[in-house]
Structure formats: structure tokens, C-alpha cells
């Protein structure tokens, strides 16, 4: 579904991505692990087009998207859910969801996607009239994921969905991601710091270090110790 | 008592006109963070376009307004496409757009002087006559102006809150990063915002033209008034701009009644300074759109 080859990119003088290659197949949840500052988030931004890569190839459903602007990538079926969320904080939950369905391809599917979102996040259905800036960190994270789903995406890029959340909220967010994958068949590429959570949720993981993939493992065969070691 | 009532009514009329004039300025700032120093001249040019249509082709005032709206909306869209868009990509975009719009204002002022000449022009009123409402007598044209101002404000509010494009404009105003990841084409929204704001501003120019005189130079006065209104109301804040316009309109007519027209500018500036001193974020706080 997603094929990334030799992607390079970075910020001004600093090269962050030094030839990343990885694949995500339809229906998978793939985890992207690795120490901070080694290019995981930068890779997601490059796929989403919000911080374009400078070289290599990113193909989604057999179409080259490396030079496509973000709105074309959303239309192609990829939704990016950044760690910073970037919600429309002075608007209601419902308005955020309506904006999630802004793209041409998402509008006809609005009702169906809204049903899916309220099914996965019943709490958001209760609070659809609430203004986002008054919500807790966990609820905001749910709105961010829900807004991504509203685009009718076939693939979600989720950056650190659990960071800074209380354990119960973490479980709720992970449960939701699992349901999105299993019930709606949406593919997920996930950046995660917490190794044990990542292994339970994903089917495969990539270890990223110094801007490239160091190794790949099926999650069932990876050991926490081996992964922890790779961080250093 | 009658004098106070009629000053209050006049303040409402003038404030309503200022509100329609300032909305375009604050919407552009809220969405794109460009402060358009040519804003007053956009209003004046809109009024001249309507005047030209009315006097040369002899169309009714309503048609003249429609022509002005279309012409100025297209002008706003083109201005964004050919100039503002590339300026916004620069690291020094804030300074670049400031100098650009200032230069544009001067260019428009002297361009209009070449085309339309220095003589004072005025636009015919919507409706002649007066209505006697007991203690005060109001001109029917003022009533028409207030109704139009309310219609424009309600229409704009509905557009921003209920339509998909309007919601996208508010989204860009709140978070450009958020707008980008939900698939909003930012350039397209900026272009649409310039078109919308220039169109609304053209109407306000025509309305101001029916109320007062116009020359190619009056744009500066309107721009400075617009600047004070939107800063007082909170930059980018539409409800704030409306409240500020009404307050300043009332101040203007009461100062005129009590002290004379010479004191209008000092009163505006004093209000502005006091407001900035007490509430630098504007009367309605830091919220946008």
C-alpha cells in the first residue's frame, strides 16, 4: 500500500532522513520505533507532505506522492495525525470533524464516516457541541484521530498517540486505534515510544536510527530487550 | 433630549458603515496575517467603479454595487495570485506585505487621480425623503444604510459559520498547520479571502459614498479609521470590529454634537490609545473570526 524508497530530507542544514526505505501493506498496523530526533516524525511529515522530502520515492497505492501538496495526499487517502494535534481549538468538536471531511473525496462520505467516528469514540458523540480548548489532553487526542478518520482515509499516520496521557486514557486511545484497524480495515503507521504498547498493538515494527531503518521485525518475534538495546 | 437621540441614531448609522468597512480588513488579517494598508483605497475604488457604472451606463444603484463587488472581488483574487502569494513565501513576509500594500495604496490613490480626476464625487442616495419618528426625524437613506449594514454582517456571519468555505477560512485563521493536514489548500483559501474581503469592502465604499463625498485621497482617512477599529476590536476578530465600529461611530457623533467636528479625530485617537492601554488584545479579547 505504501512503499518508501531511499527517502532523504531534513531542515535547512541538518539532514534528518538519510535514505529511509520501508513498506506498509494494506490492513497492517506498523510501528515505527527508535530514539528521539532520529527521523520518525520527520518521515511522517514527509509522507503527509507537510514537510516534503528532498529526494527518494514515496508511492501510495502505486502512485508517486513525494512531490504532492498536503491536500492532494489527503485526497489520495492518507490522514496525518501529528503529536501536536493542531486542533481548531476555538471551534466545537463537530466543527473539527466537519473540517476533517473538508476534502473533495470525503464530503460525500460524511454521514458514514461520522457514524464510524461516533461508534469508535462514543464520548465525542456526547460532546460534539463542546469547544475543543476546554477538553482534556486525552479527549483532544481522540478529536485529532477522529478528525483524521473523517477524511475517509485508508491509511492513518499517527505520531505518538499516547504521549502525556494517563494510563486509562492511553488504553482507550489504543483500543480505538485497534478498532479502527480491525472493524474499518484502515491501515495504520504509528510512531510510538513505549515499546511494550507498540509490540502489543502492531503486527510489524521498524527500528529507525540516524535517519534510516536499522532493522525490521514481526512484532511477535521482537523482544523488548533487543529493542531497548537498539535505542543506545 | 431630541439632539441626543438624533446623535445616537447618527452614531448608529455611521458605526454600521464603519463596521462594514472594517470587516474586510480584519477578515484578511485574521486569515492571512496580512495587514492591508491599501484597504481604504480598495473601498474608494469600489465606490468609483459603482459611480462609473451609474453615471456612464446609467444603471440603478443596486446594479452599480453588484458591478463594484464583482470587479473588486476579482481584483482581490488576482492581487493575491500575482503578488501576495509569493510575498507570503518569504522569510520576511510580514515586512514585505506591509511595504507592498503601502505602495499599492499610493499607486491606487494616484491611479484614481489620473482616471477620475481630483473633483469631489458623490453617489446618489438609495431613497429620498425623511420619516418623522416623534422626537427624531431620520432620513430614509440612513434607514436603508443601517438595514444594508445589518444584512451584510448577518450574511458574512452565516457564510463564515455555516458554509464549508467559510469554515475553512476560520480553520486557517485558527491553525494553518491544522488546516493543511485536513486537506485545505491554503493558497486557495487566501485567494478566496482576498476576493471576499475586497467584495464586501467595495459595498462599504459605495455606502460611504452615498453618505459623504469622495476623492481619490479619502482612502487614507478610511484606512486609518479602519486600522483604529480593527485594532480596538482585536486584530482578526470580526465581532470585536463590529462593536468597536459602533462605539467609535457613537463617539464621533456625540463629539460632533458637543464639541464640533474638529474634535472627532482627537477623540478617535484618544479612545484608541486608552483602549490599547487598558485592553491591548482588543475589546473582545484574543479570539479570531
Q: What was the ipTM of the complex prediction? A: 0.90
Residue A196 has a pLDDT of 85
Contact B188, B195 (CB under 8 A): no
Using a CB-CB distance cutoff of 8 angstroms, which residues of chain A are in contact with residue B177?
50, 82, 84, 86
Contacts 24+ apart (CB under 8 A), B211-214: B211/B13, B211/B14, B211/B17, B211/B141, B211/B145, B212/B122, B213/B120, B213/B121, B213/B122, B214/B44, B214/B47, B214/B48, B214/B51, B214/B120, B214/B121, B214/B122, B214/B123
The per-residue pLDDT for range A182-224, each reduced to its tens digit, is 999 999 999 998 888 889 999 999 999 999 999 999 998 888 8
Residue B288 has a pLDDT of 43
Asked if B171 and A89 come within 8 Å (Cβ–Cβ), the reply is: no
Q: CA B187, CA B192: separation in Å to the nearest integer? A: 9
Q: Which helix (H) or strand (E) holds A16?
A: strand A14-24
Query: What average pLDDT score do residues B77-97 get?
Result: 95
Residue A187: beta bridge partners? A155
Using a CB-CB distance cutoff of 8 angstroms, which residues of chain B are in contact with residue A89?
174-175
Residue B289 has a pLDDT of 41
The per-residue pLDDT for range B139-170, each reduced to its tens digit, is 999 999 999 999 999 999 999 999 999 999 99
Using a CB-CB distance cutoff of 8 angstroms, which residues of chain A are in contact with residue B185?
69, 71
Which residue positions in chain A have pLDDT lower than 70? none
Beta-carbon contacts of B7 under 8 Å, excluding residues fewer than 6 positions away, are B253, B254, B256, B257
In whole angstroms, what separates CA B82 from the centre of its chain? 23
pLDDT above 90 covers what percent of chain B? 81
B85 vs A: CB within 8 A:
no
Chain B residue with the nearest C-alpha to that of A71: B183
Amino acid at each position: 500500500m505504501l512503499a518508501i524508497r531511499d527517502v532523504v530530507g531534513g531542515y535547512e542544514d541538518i539532514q534528518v532522513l538519510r535514505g529511509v526505505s520501508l513498506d506498509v501493506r494494506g490492513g497492517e498496523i506498523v510501528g515505527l520505533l527508535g530514539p528521539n530526533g532520529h527521523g520518525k516524525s520527520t518521515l511522517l511529515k514527509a509522507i503527509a507532505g507537510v514537510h516534503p522530502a528532498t529526494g527518494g520515492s514515496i508511492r501510495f497505492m502505486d502512485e508517486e506522492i513525494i512531490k504532492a501538496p498536503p491536500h492532494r495526499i489527503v485526497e489520495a487517502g492518507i490522514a496525518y495525525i501529528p503529536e501536536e494535534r493542531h486542533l481548531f481549538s476555538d471551534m466545537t468538536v463537530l466543527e473539527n470533524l466537519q473540517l476533517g471531511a473538508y476534502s473533495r473525496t470525503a464530503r460525500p462520505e460524511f454521514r458514514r464516516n461520522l457514524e464510524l467516528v461516533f461508534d469508535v469514540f462514543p464520548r465525542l458523540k456526547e460532546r460534539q457541541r463542546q469547544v475543543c480548548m476546554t477538553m482534556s489532553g486525552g479527549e483532544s487526542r481522540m478529536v485529532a484521530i477522529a478528525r483524521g478518520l473523517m477524511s475517509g482515509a485508508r491509511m492513518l499516520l499517527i505520531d505518538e498517540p499516547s504521549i502525556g496521557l494517563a494510563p486509562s486514557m492511553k488504553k482507550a486511545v489504543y483500543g480505538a486505534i485497534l478498532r479502527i484497524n480491525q472493524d474499518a480495515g484502515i491501515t495504520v503507521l504509528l510512531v510510538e515510544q513505549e515499546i511494550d504498547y507498540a509490540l502489543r498493538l502492531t503486527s510489524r515494527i521498524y527500528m529507525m536510527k540516524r535517519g534510516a531503518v536499522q532493522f525490521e521485525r514481526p512484532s511477535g518475534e521482537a523482544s523488548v530487550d533487543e529493542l531497548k538495546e537498539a535505542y543506545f | 433630549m431630541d439632539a441626543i437621540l438624533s446623535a445616537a441614531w447618527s452614531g448608529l448609522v455611521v458605526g454600521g458603515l464603519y463596521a462594514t468597512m472594517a470587516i474586510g480588513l480584519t477578515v484578511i488579517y485574521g486569515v492571512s496575517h496580512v495587514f492591508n494598508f491599501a484597504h481604504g483605497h480598495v473601498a474608494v475604488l469600489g465606490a468609483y467603479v459603482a459611480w462609473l457604472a451609474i453615471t456612464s451606463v446609467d444603471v440603478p444603484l443596486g446594479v452599480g454595487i453588484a458591478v463594484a463587488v464583482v470587479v473588486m472581488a476579482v481584483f482581490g483574487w488576482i492581487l493575491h495570485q500575482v503578488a501576495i502569494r509569493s510575498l507570503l513565501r518569504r522569510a520576511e513576509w510580514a515586512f514585505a506585505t506591509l511595504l507592498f500594500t503601502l505602495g499599492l495604496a499610493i499607486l491606487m490613490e494616484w491611479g484614481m487621480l489620473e482616471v477620475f480626476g481630483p473633483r469631489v464625487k458623490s453617489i446618489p442616495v438609495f431613497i429620498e425623503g425623511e420619516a418623522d419618528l416623534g422626537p427624531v426625524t431620520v432620513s430614509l437613506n440612513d434607514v436603508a444604510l443601517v438595514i444594508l449594514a445589518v444584512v451584510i454582517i448577518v450574511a458574512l456571519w452565516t457564510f463564515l459559520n455555516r458554509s464549508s468555505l467559510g469554515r475553512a477560512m476560520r480553520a486557517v485563521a485558527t491553525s494553518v498547520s491544522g488546516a493543511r493536514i485536513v486537506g485545505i489548500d491554503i493558497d486557495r483559501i487566501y485567494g478566496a479571502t482576498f476576493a471576499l474581503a475586497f467584495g464586501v469592502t467595495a459595498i462599504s465604499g459605495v455606502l460611504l459614498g452615498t453618505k459623504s463625498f469622495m476623492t481619490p485621497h479619502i482612502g487614507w482617512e478610511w484606512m486609518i479609521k479602519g486600522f483604529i477599529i480593527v485594532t480596538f476590536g482585536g486584530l482578526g476578530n470580526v465581532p470585536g470590529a463590529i462593536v468597536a465600529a459602533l462605539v467609535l461611530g457613537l463617539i464621533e457623533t456625540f463629539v460632533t454634537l458637543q464639541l464640533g467636528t474638529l474634535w472627532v479625530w482627537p477623540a478617535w485617537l484618544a479612545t484608541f490609545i486608552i483602549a490599547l492601554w487598558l485592553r491591548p488584545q482588543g475589546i473582545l479579547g484574543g479570539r479570531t473570526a
